[in-house]
Amino acid sequence: MNVQTIMVIGAGQMGSGIAQVAAQAGFRVFLNDVQQAFVERGLATITKNLSRNVEKGKLSEAEKEAILGRLTLSTDLADASEADFVVEAVTENMAVKTQIFSKLDEVCPPHTVLASNTSSLPITEIAAVTKRPEKVIGMHFMNPVPVMKLVEIIRGLQTSDEVYQLTEDLSKQMSKVPVSVNDFPGFVSNRVLMPMLNEAIYCVYEGVATPEAIDEVMKLGMNHPMGPLQLADFIGLDTCLYIMEVLHEGFGDSKYRPCPLLRKYVKAGWLGKKSGRGFYVYS
């Protein structure tokens, strides 16, 4: 199948990043969200990223304009009728995602592949609300999308080999490195990462050390570029809690139990960098 037009649903940090790399790869891209203000903010982020690349000499002004020229803003899911491939990148909530996939299944042509950028939710369950489960797949990009090379590709129970191959090829066209992962809660990235972040939060909770000390140990001792608590703040503590809950519920294993301090911070609205306060204060 020849993919020419891609729709990205959700114009936030992840969605705008995916739209950017797709447009850079030469695809015509619809960037969709529920409000005009959201898609305009997404476009502003893309423009800023591309301008920075022009300043660094990585892109010419003409190339930047060509990339932006391939982007179309959309607030109507019906525009997906023009797409060969759709990447959903909305909030990590099963009810919201299944509602979108059900609607996409109605408006998209039969050949259109539906991908989700979910970081932890089961692809098989998302696919079940469509009449094309063989054309539903997980395409989990890393944040920030324009910089990070990895894409976890997750096959649902019924995902076809052709759709997997197409998604792998698309990832490579977007200058990403695809890695095949099976449909288990948290996949590989978050199943390994989140319990580490949760354990670091337990170390704060139990008074083992300060957040600064814990992060310093992991940076200097394990050669991590960023400490686990700072990373949790950057991801968003609400997102970390949600993924831990998906792991805990999905496996029924107490080792995935979210730390009570994580719950407390989220209830207090201390969500990390985006709210100005998490384990650190961001002015």
Question: In the prediction, which pLDDT does 247 show?
Answer: 95
109/236 same-domain check: no
Angle at the Cα of 12 from the Cα atoms of 186 and 155, rounded to 5 degrees: 35
238/168 same-domain check: no
166/246 same-domain check: no
223/125 same-domain check: no
Give the list of residues 6+ apart from residue 264 with CB closer than 8 angstroms, or none: none
Question: In the prediction, which pLDDT does 1 show?
Answer: 79
Annotation-wise, does 97 bind a ligand? yes
Q: What is the pLDDT of residues 151-169, one digit of tens each?
A: 999 999 999 999 999 999 9
Q: Which of 32, 74, 117, 190 is catalytic?
A: 190
The edge-to-edge listing of strands for the beta sheet with 28-32 is 71-74, 28-32, 5-9, 85-88, 113-116, 136-141, 150-155, 177-182
195/177 same-domain check: no
Residue 279, domain member (yes or no): no
Helix (H) or strand (E) holding 198: helix 189-205
The reply to whether the predicted model has a pTM over 0.75 is yes
Residue 176, domain member (yes or no): yes
- Asked about 171 being catalytic, the answer comes back as no
- Asked about 189 being catalytic, the answer comes back as no
Closest CA to 64 of 75, 54, 72, 55: 54
51/169 same-domain check: yes
Q: Which of 74, 116, 152, 171 is catalytic?
A: 152
174/213 same-domain check: no
Question: In the prediction, which pLDDT does 190 show?
Answer: 96
Annotation-wise, does 12 bind a ligand? yes
Annotation-wise, does 88 bind a ligand? no
Residue 9, domain member (yes or no): yes
- Write the CATH number for 111: 3.40.50.720
Annotation-wise, does 4 bind a ligand? no
Residues of the chain with pLDDT under 50: none
Question: In the prediction, which pLDDT does 283 show?
Answer: 86
Where does residue 81 rank: exposed (0-12), middle (13-18), buried (19+ CB within 10 A)? middle
Are the C-beta atoms of 11 and 32 separated by less than 8 Å? yes
Q: What is the pLDDT of residues 133-152, one digit of tens each?
A: 999 999 999 989 999 999 99
Angle at the Cα of 205 from the Cα atoms of 277 and 184, rounded to 5 degrees: 85
Distance from C-alpha of 252 to C-alpha of 167, rounded to nearest angstrom: 31
Annotation-wise, does 99 bind a ligand? no
Domain span holding position 144: 5-182
Question: In the prediction, which pLDDT does 156 show?
Answer: 96
Annotation-wise, does 14 bind a ligand? yes
- Write the CATH number for 222: 1.10.1040.10
- Asked about 190 being catalytic, the answer comes back as yes
Annotation-wise, does 142 bind a ligand? no
Q: Which of 16, 140, 168, 198 is catalytic?
A: 140
- Asked about 111 being catalytic, the answer comes back as no
Question: In the prediction, which pLDDT does 220 show?
Answer: 98
Q: Which of 16, 116, 117, 119 is catalytic?
A: 119
88/223 same-domain check: no
Contacts for 186-191 with beta carbons within 8 Å, 24 or more apart? 186/119, 186/120, 186/243, 186/246, 186/247, 186/250, 187/119, 187/120, 187/138, 187/140, 187/152, 187/154, 188/152, 189/119, 189/140, 189/142, 189/150, 189/152, 190/119, 190/120, 190/243, 190/247, 191/247
